[in-house]
Structure formats: C-alpha cells, structure tokens
Amino acid sequence: MNVILQNIGRRFNREWIFKNIDYTFTQGDSYAVLGPNGSGKSTLLQVIAGSLTPSQGTIRYGDDEKPVADEQVFAQLSLAAPYLELVEEFTLRELVDFHFRFKNYREGFDAQKVIGLLGFGTQANKMIRHFSSGMKQRTKLALAFCADTPLILLDEPGSNLDEAGLAWYHQLVTQFSPGRLLIIGSNQEPEYHFCKNRLQVTDFKA
C-alpha cells in the first residue's frame, strides 16, 4: 500500500510543527522519518496512521487503481510506539488474543507462535503489568510485525531494548518487512540504519 502526502501540515495552536510535505511512501520500501526530539516525527507518524488529522493537505492510501478508503486504513496498518499503552490487566495470552480480534495473523502464525517468537513461553499467563519495560516493547513490536498488514509504522522501536533486544528487533525487520511498507520515526541510527530512504522533518518547518 502506497501512502501519498499532498501539502500535508500540522499545527498546534498557532505553531506549525511541519508544513507543505509532498511525499510518497511506496509499497515494499523502507523509510526513516528523522529529526531531533520535538521536531514532529511522532506527530507525522500519527497523521499517517490517521490518529491525528492534518491541519492542511490530504493523504491518499493505495494507488489510482486500488485506492484504500479512509475507514479501511486502520485494518491495513500496524503501529508500535512508546505512547501506545498495553492492557496491563491482561495476561500475555489474553493480550495477543484480544489484539488479533482486530487484525489478521500473518500466514502461518497464531497466538502460540507469536508468544514463541517473543521467547516468553513461560510468561504466557503472566499479567502485562508485571512485564519489564523491555518485555512490553518486544510485545508491541511482535504484535505489529505479526499482523497481516501492508503498512508498518514504528516510532522509536528501540525504546527500552537492551543489546539483545535490539538484535531481536533487527531479526524481525529482516524476517517480516520484505514486501511491506515500513516507516520508522527515530533519531537513533541503530533503529533505522537499514532504511533505504530518509525524510528529515526539519526540512518542512514553516
């Protein structure tokens, strides 16, 4: 699924976070949305995800032959971000089951395989509230990559991951991103070094 931004801008009160973005994200490619803290990376990802409305411009999903309607975009994307909360009263197994009521599994996957991918087999019945911050981040990433969606949005994917966790994240990218559109918001090079394309948010300051 392509994502086409046409004259996109977003402001809070009277201040423009970014403005006049014309850019096409193409299915099968990987993109890093870059900029210092507070530059608008997360805001742009949320606009692309549809959780924030742009203050100007339009977004088109799909292509001219197969456009995706706005109300269908949610089913076409996965998002993992530090500001997304997990339901801490659920066990891991309950959380996985709940998540995949709204998303389809990638071919060949089910709840047990997602838990196995996490390496949390003995933790399947442990409540999320008792997970470490690194375990929660791994869970968010696994849910995003194991959903059958053509678009993956990752905001600061290395948050709370140690060296082993970062290596595990890179394995997920290698295994699950080919053929999909991958967009990563980051200012940490190890999180996006494999991305073929770079977009600097600071290039679109008003």
Task: Look up residue 14 and give its amino acid.
Answer: R
Residue 47: what pLDDT? 96
The domain made up of 3-204 has a fold known as Rossmann fold (3.40.50)
Q: What is the DSSP letter of 47?
A: H
Residue 204, classified by CB atoms within 10 Å of its CB into exposed (0-12), middle (13-18) or buried (19+), is buried
User: Residue 57 is encoded by which pair of tokens?
Assistant: 């411009």
Q: Name the average pLDDT for the chain.
A: 94
- pTM of the predicted model, to two decimals? 0.95
pLDDT, average across residues 129-139: 96
Q: Is the pLDDT of residue 15 over 80?
A: yes
Q: Alpha helices, DSSP H only, in 20-132?
A: 41-49, 92-99, 111-118
The interaxial angle of helices 111-118 and 92-99, nearest 10 deg, is: 130
Query: Which residue spans within 39-188 are E strands per DSSP?
Result: 56-62, 67-68, 77-80, 151-155, 181-186
Residue 185: what pLDDT? 97
Beta strands 181-186 and 30-34: pairing type? parallel
Q: Indicate the domain borders of the chain.
A: 3-204
